[in-house]
């Protein structure tokens, strides 16, 4: 049986002494001093007991008083060495003022295989911790310990265990249980250390990287400064630029969000370049810049008249736009809808009539900026709406680029060749144009690249097209058509004199005094050397004459070079276009029709002939289904009225010359009928008569389109009489007075009237 010891109690409130530990104890409290004084009577032994929260532990450590003296600071202290655990019993009396108790020494339990394994694992953990701290001498001491209990008690030196943990170890008398507790606490400490070290390493590396990048940027800036390659002032301070710019609230919010991303990303991040490009694009758009529209309608009309001859209906429509716009501005947008005028005018007409140049004149008259957007051949929807920013080389669409180029939010934007926009696997650009041109939607137009709303309601959009037939229906529905049908000969002469000739004189390097053109010469170029709705070929003719005049002047001819009707043959050769209606219609079976092509109005001859052979009908000249039906209807009508003669028993051939050109449309019915009636009766068609209109089986004449263009073509071809459907009579109001005065227009409702007007009188000898 273990002998009970009678020992003085040395209480410690700030430390726990385990067996094997040598600890200095300050003698700063009466009970500690009393225990040290009493130890001399019991072989210098004391019972060191933890006193935590004012309570004594049930197990203490039997310790030997090694030395009593003073610390370097001068305080009195004693050194004690723990030897073994002891269970505290009842209090007893003893000498001095110390507290005496009975203490029963406690021996460690037997060492089992599990105890040995736990000790080995714990020793490995402890050595690992000590090696990290560089305590190599302590590592050697720990490695020499073989007793599991002694190894466990070395935990009294562990800085990562608090007083409660050490007191719990002191109270635990079973070695195995003591090692299990130590393993649990030590593993938790190791895991915590690993996390702390990882965080510390990451923070250290991040700080080092930031400091390194800052240093390198400073060095790079210094190098650029020395080389004179510094960045433009303020180019990097995007936040200041965004805050200083006059941006709408939603745009400013989106821009600042991108600035935040830019500031968080490094220069090596490719997204930084994309963000800079996007911010530059946004800052380049004139969000708050607008030009003032002119309020002087008389001056605006004067500008349009000075820039273009004719086109009165177009000019009237533009002046109406100005008047409405001015009134809206005076009333205030908030009272009239607040979404701009919403006018989307589309100028439709043949090439060369001045559609594109008219857009510049409109901008000039309004006092606005002018931008031209060429849409011919565009097949990618992204060209209109922009690319997504995730694509390499992404750009905003042409509309945004036009606004940026104009430098104001209310320019005149000319959408050129809107009828030649294509579509393929990349999307349909015309569908993207719907939002641009819809007045109810374009105040919140969203470009895929910008991804912010852009107000296009103040933009005046003008479209140009050669033919409205090829413009998609939904797009056509959002536009107001203004047709430019072409110029009369007098208008062409005025345009040549006032606009084309001065421009070509300058291009040829001549002075206005070097060449003199007579009005007769200009009229001949327009009438006999060109035959077009516009003036493009006329301008080329003038350029050719001026080039030859420049050669003459350089060869010694005295200025000015006089260009009159006789001189034109030497400059341009013989006339290319002469009236041919009389020659073509001198034979029965040929009628003169009128048609509309992509190049404007034109004269169309229809020829019919009959021959011996099996009865039948042959059609040539690349006729479409509608014109083929017109031939059949015309023949059926004549047979039903008894006007076909012997055509039903003969082989018929109907031909429309210029066979390489496809022809189709519902306006050649009465011309087909007249040609067949002329063939059947042997009466030629009057050479001065041109006609247009569709026919029914009952002989009614149906209305057609393009009357103005067709009548202008008839006038250019030298015709004096034109037959049109009765229901097209209101279209004559659009015809210029000069042309209306030189043409006799005959509105008809029945084919019988057409034949009476068109056919020559029957020969006297016809009865024979």
C-beta separation of 563 from 545 below 8 A: yes
DSSP state of 528: I
Backbone angles phi, psi at 79, to 5 degrees: -105, 125
Helices (H) and strands (E) in the chain, counts: 27, 25
How far is 61 from 40, CA to CA, in rounded Å?
17
Secondary structure of 581-622 in the HEC alphabet? HHHHCCCCCEEEEEEEECCEEEEEEEEEEEECCCCEEEEECC
How far is 134 from 360, CA to CA, in rounded Å?
85
Selected catalytic residue, list 630, 667, 678, 687? 667
DSSP state of 12: E
350: three-class secondary structure by DSSP: coil
Selected catalytic residue, list 123, 369, 492, 710? 710
70: three-class secondary structure by DSSP: strand
C-beta separation of 601 from 713 below 8 A: yes
Cα–Cα distances (Å) from 494 to 164, 332, 519, 578, 589, in that order, read: 111, 42, 9, 22, 39
The yes-or-no answer on residue 257 being catalytic is: no
C-beta separation of 81 from 10 below 8 A: no
Secondary structure of 298-336 in the HEC alphabet? HHHHHHHHHHCCCCHHHHHHHHHHHHHHHHHHHHCHHHC
Backbone angles phi, psi at 145, to 5 degrees: -75, 125
C-beta separation of 664 from 629 below 8 A: no
Tell me which residue has tokens 């990303």: 265
C-beta separation of 101 from 92 below 8 A: yes
The yes-or-no answer on residue 576 being catalytic is: no
Secondary structure of 380-398 in the HEC alphabet? CCHHHHCCCCCCCCCCCCH
Catalytic residues: 667, 710
């Amino acid at each position: 049986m273990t002998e009970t010891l009678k020992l003085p109690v040395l209480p410690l409130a700030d430390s726990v002494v385990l067996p094997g530990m040598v600890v200095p104890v300050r003698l700063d409290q009466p009970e500690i001093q009393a225990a040290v004084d009493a130890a001399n009577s019991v072989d210098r032994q004391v019972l060191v007991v933890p006193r935590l929260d004012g309570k004594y532990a049930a197990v203490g450590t039997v310790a030997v008083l090694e030395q009593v003296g003073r610390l370097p600071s001068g305080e009195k202290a004693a050194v004690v060495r723990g030897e073994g655990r002891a269970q505290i019993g009842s209090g007893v009396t003893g000498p001095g003022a110390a507290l005496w108790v009975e203490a029963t020494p406690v021996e460690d339990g037997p060492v089992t295989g599990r105890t040995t394994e736990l000790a080995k694992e714990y020793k490995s953990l402890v050595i690992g911790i000590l090696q990290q701290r560089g305590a190599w001498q302590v590592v050697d001491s720990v490695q020499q310990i073989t007793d599991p209990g002694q190894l466990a008690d070395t935990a009294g030196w562990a800085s990562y265990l608090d007083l409660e943990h050490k007191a719990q170890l002191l109270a635990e008398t079973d070695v195995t249980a003591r090692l299990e507790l130590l393993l649990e606490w030590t593993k938790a400490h190791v895991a915590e250390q690993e996390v702390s070290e990882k965080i510390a390493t990451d923070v250290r590396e991040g700080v080092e990287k930031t400091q390194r990048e800052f240093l390198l940027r400073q060095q790079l800036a210094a190098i650029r400064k020395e080389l004179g390659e510094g960045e433009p002032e303020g180019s990097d301070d995007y936040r200041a630029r965004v805050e200083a710019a006059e941006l709408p609230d939603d745009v400013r919010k989106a821009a600042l969000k991108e600035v935040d991303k830019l500031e968080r990303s490094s220069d090596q991040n490719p997204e930084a370049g994309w963000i800079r490009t996007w911010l530059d694009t946004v800052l380049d758009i004139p969000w708050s810049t607008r030009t003032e529209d002119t309020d002087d309608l008389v001056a605006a009309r004067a500008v349009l008249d000075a820039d273009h001859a004719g086109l009165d209906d177009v000019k009237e429509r533009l002046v109406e736009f100005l008047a409405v716009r001015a009134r809206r501005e005076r009333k205030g947008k908030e009272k009239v809808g607040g979404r701009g005028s919403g006018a989307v005018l589309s100028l439709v007409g043949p090439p060369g009539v001045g559609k594109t140049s008219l857009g510049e004149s409109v901008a000039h008259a309004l006092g606005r900026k002018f931008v031209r957007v060429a849409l011919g051949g565009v097949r990618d929807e992204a060209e209109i709406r922009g690319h997504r920013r995730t694509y390499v080389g992404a750009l905003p669409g042409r509309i945004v680029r036009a606004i940026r180029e104009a430098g104001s939010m209310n320019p005149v934007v000319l959408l050129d060749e809107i009828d030649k926009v294509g579509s393929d696997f990349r999307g349909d650009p015309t569908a993207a144009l719907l939002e641009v041109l819809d007045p109810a939607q374009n105040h919140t137009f969203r470009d895929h690249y910008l991804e912010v709303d852009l107000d296009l309601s103040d933009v005046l959009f003008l479209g140009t097209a050669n033919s409205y037939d090829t413009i998609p229906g939904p797009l056509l529905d959002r536009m107001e058509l203004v047709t430019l049908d072409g110029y009369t000969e007098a208008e062409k002469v005025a345009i040549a004199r006032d606009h084309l000739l001065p421009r070509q004189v300058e291009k040829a390097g001549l002075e206005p005094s070097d060449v003199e053109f007579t009005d007769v010469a200009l009229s001949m170029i327009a009438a006999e050397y060109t035959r077009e709705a516009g003036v493009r070929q006329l301008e080329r003719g003038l350029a050719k004459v001026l080039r030859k005049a420049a050669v003459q002047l350089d060869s010694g001819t005295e200025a000015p070079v006089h260009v009159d009707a006789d001189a034109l043959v030497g400059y341009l050769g013989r006339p290319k276009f002469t009236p041919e209606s009389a020659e073509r219609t001198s034979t029965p079976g040929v009628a003169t029709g009128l048609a509309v092509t992509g190049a404007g109005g034109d004269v169309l001859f229809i020829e019919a002939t009959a021959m011996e052979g099996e009865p039948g009908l042959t059609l040539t000249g690349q006729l479409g289904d509608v014109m083929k039906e017109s031939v059949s209807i015309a023949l059926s009508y004549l047979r039903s009225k008894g006007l076909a003669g012997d055509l039903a028993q003969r082989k018929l051939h109907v031909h429309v010359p210029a066979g390489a050109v496809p022809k189709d449309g519902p306006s050649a019915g009465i011309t087909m009928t007249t040609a067949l009636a002329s063939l059947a009766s042997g009466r030629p068609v009057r050479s001065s008569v041109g006609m247009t209109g569709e026919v029914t089986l009952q002989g009614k004449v149906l209305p057609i389109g393009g009357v103005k263009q067709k009548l202008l073509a008839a006038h250019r071809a030298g015709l004096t009489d034109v037959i049109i459907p009765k229901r097209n009579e209101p279209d004559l109001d659009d015809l210029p007075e000069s042309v209306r005065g030189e043409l006799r227009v005959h509105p008809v409702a029945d084919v019988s009237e057409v034949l009476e007007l068109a056919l020559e009188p029957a020969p006297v000898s016809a009865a024979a």
